[in-house]
């Protein structure tokens, strides 16, 4: 951990807990700050707050009293989920208190190299790919995943050494709060429209994403999607060396797909068919990851070997198992229609689709054209009837309602044939039946593995 006296004997308010706030508070305490934590959740149901109290940190829980800011704080570190129009944040900025986020705090003490990854889609997969490629056969140091991927950046920065890399997934919420953060390599996977409720409009959202490169210099690299005209135009405003990646054209200074192979700067790296994760979007993710790996001196052999065992990020079109020629995929993270469209576009052959969940009031009309390869639709949850309507409009002959994702697994096998893809891609949030999409995805994977075991035992008994 890099020595940092900036917060020593300074009063710092941590606004909002969860993983990022909890770890920010611990780090600030270690850096000699006088820490106060303010969290909206009542103390009785707040184990994180209780833990911090045990360290001697002052905690105000249950509400966000604006008058707390009268206590002469030198800094505020806010949870990225708290918007800038929050009364506490607005007041802090009005009276001149610098508002930081946990990733900025982490970058200030980080000794190793920082690689930042942002974009609307593909951040988590690309972050994971880069980490795996940088670690394969590595002789010195280690690459760590951190940030929006669910691993607090401040916890990783505390343990990373000068020999290590920290590959940090950065959301637009986190990037809005940076001041001096400076990735040696920044990656932008793509930019589409998202989080407009938080940012107000698309222009502000794009500005937030673009902040990943604002502190970069001519010694740094910016890896970005050259198939997006918007990013090509924006690249003119970065001081970093531009390293493009493209699925549709040869880019001399970057990574690209040509004749079924992935290249970097004219050198053939690997066959696209060697990727174990399906879909054109994953070719883009792989190209971005290859660009970072090659800029870091990773050999083609190591890249090929690392991708040979990369089966995707958990719950994101993740390969689970193959049973008698049927391949099962867990895409529980598809909590909206757009994500399910992407998943359906990732496969060419017949699909058995498992879908359904929380009813947010929308229809599934826009999903209908994407159901052309779906031969059987198995539906569950609050949106069952709406998905049945969409399936009928798409001309799907076999539509089967069932209780939940677990009961859907044996049904999917029953309706499948050799060569079929069985895909859980719900197009809905999980909260009608489960606490989160991870639990839903895990139950699906467990049910698939139980089915594989049962079928193996059943077939073994005939020999």
Domain 11-97 has CATH 3.40.50.720: yes
> Known binder of ligand: residue 101?
no
pLDDT at 459 > cutoff 60 = yes
Q: What is the mean pLDDT of residues 164-192?
A: 93
Tell which residue, 404, 156, 125, has the closest CA to residue 282: 125
Query: For 280-334, what is each residue's pLDDT tens digit?
Result: 999 999 999 999 999 999 999 999 999 999 988 889 999 999 999 999 999 999 9
pLDDT at position 173, please? 85
SS (H, E, C) the chain: CCCCCCCCCCEEEEECCHHHHHHHHHHHHHCCCEEEEEECCCHHHCHHHHHHHHCCCEEEECCCCHHHHHHCCCEEEECCCCCCCCHHHHHHHHCCCCEEEHHHHHHHHCCCEEEEEECCCCHHHHHHHHHHHHHCCCCCCCEEEEECCCECHHHHHHHCCCCCEEEEECCHHHHCCCCCCCCCEEEECCCCCCCHHHHCCHHHHHHHHHHHHCCCCCCCEEEEECCCHHHHHHHHHCCCEEEEEECCCCCCCCEEEECCEEEECCEEEEEHHHCCCCCHHHHHHHHHHHHHHHHCCCCHHHHHHHHHCCCCCCCCCEEEEEECCEEEEECCCCCCHHHHHHHHCCCCCCEEEEECCCCCCCCCHHHHHHHCCEEEEEECCCCHHHHHHHHHHCCCCEEEECCCHHHHHHHHHHCCCCCCEEEECCCCCCCCCCCCHHHHHHHHHHHHHHHHHHHHHHHHCCC
Query: For 226-262, what is each residue's pLDDT tens digit?
Result: 999 999 999 999 999 999 999 999 999 999 999 999 9
For the chain, percent of residues with pLDDT exceeding 90: 86
401 beta partners: 379
> Known binder of ligand: residue 124?
yes
Phi–psi pair at 347, nearest 5 degrees: -125, 145
> Known binder of ligand: residue 119?
yes
> Known binder of ligand: residue 120?
yes
Fold of 318-455: 3.90.190
Query: For 63-107, what is each residue's pLDDT tens digit?
Result: 999 999 999 999 999 998 888 889 999 999 999 999 999 999 999
In the chain, where the domains are located:
11-97, 104-308, 318-455
pLDDT at 439 > cutoff 70 = yes
**205: pLDDT confidence band, cut at 50, 70 and 90?**
confident
Question: Which pair of structure tokens corresponds to residue 319?
Answer: 């390969």
CATH code, residues 104-308: 3.40.1190.10
**58: pLDDT confidence band, cut at 50, 70 and 90?**
very high
């Amino acid at each position: 951990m890099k020595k940092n006296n900036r917060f020593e004997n300074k009063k710092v308010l941590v606004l909002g807990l969860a993983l990022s706030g909890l770890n920010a508070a611990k780090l600030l305490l270690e850096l000699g700050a006088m820490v106060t934590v303010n969290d909206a959740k009542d103390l009785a149901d707040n184990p994180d707050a209780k833990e911090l109290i045990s360290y001697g940190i002052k905690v105000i829980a249950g509400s966000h009293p604006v008058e707390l800011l009268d206590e002469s704080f030198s800094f505020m570190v806010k949870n990225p989920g708290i918007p800038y129009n929050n009364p506490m944040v607005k007041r802090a900025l009005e009276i001149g208190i610098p508002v930081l986020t946990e990733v900025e705090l982490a970058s200030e003490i980080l000794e190793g190299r920082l690689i930042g990854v942002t974009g609307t889609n593909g951040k988590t997969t690309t972050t994971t790919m880069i980490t795996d490629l940088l670690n394969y056969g590595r002789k010195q140091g280690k690459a760590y995943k951190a940030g929006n991927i669910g691993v607090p950046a401040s916890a990783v920065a505390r343990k990373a050494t000068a020999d290590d890399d920290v590959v940090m997934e950065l959301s637009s919420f986190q990037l809005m709060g940076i001041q001096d953060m400076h990735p040696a390599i920044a990656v932008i996977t793509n930019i589409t429209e998202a989080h407009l409720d938080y940012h107000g409009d698309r222009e502000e959202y794009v500005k937030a994403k673009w902040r990943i490169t604002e502190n970069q210099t001519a010694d740094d690299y910016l890896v970005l999607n050259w198939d997006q005209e918007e990013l090509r135009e924006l690249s003119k405003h970065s001081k970093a060396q531009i390293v493009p990646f493209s699925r549709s054209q040869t880019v001399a200074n970057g990574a690209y797909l040509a004749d079924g192979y992935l290249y970097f700067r004219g050198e053939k790296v690997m066959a696209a068919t060697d990727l174990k994760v399906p879909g054109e979007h994953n070719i883009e993710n792989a190209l971005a990851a290859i660009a970072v790996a090659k800029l870091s001196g990773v050999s083609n052999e190591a890249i090929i070997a690392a991708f040979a065992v990369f089966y995707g990020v958990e719950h994101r079109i993740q390969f689970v198992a193959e049973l008698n020629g049927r391949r099962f995929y867990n895409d529980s993270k598809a909590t909206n229609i757009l994500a399910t469209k992407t998943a359906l576009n990732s496969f060419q052959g017949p699909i058995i689709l498992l879908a359904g969940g929380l009813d947010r009031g929308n229809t599934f009309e826009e999903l209908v054209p994407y159901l052309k390869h779906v031969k059987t639709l198995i539906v569950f949850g609050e949106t069952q009837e709406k998905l049945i309507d969409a399936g009928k409009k798409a001309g799907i002959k076999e539509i089967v309602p069932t209780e939940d994702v677990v009961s859907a697994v044996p049904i999917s096998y029953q309706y499948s044939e050799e060569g079929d893809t069985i895909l859980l891609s719900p197009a809905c949030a999980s909260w009608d039946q489960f606490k989160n999409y991870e639990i839903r995805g895990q139950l699906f994977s467990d049910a698939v593995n139980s089915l594989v075991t049962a079928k193996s035992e059943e077939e073994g008994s005939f020999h």
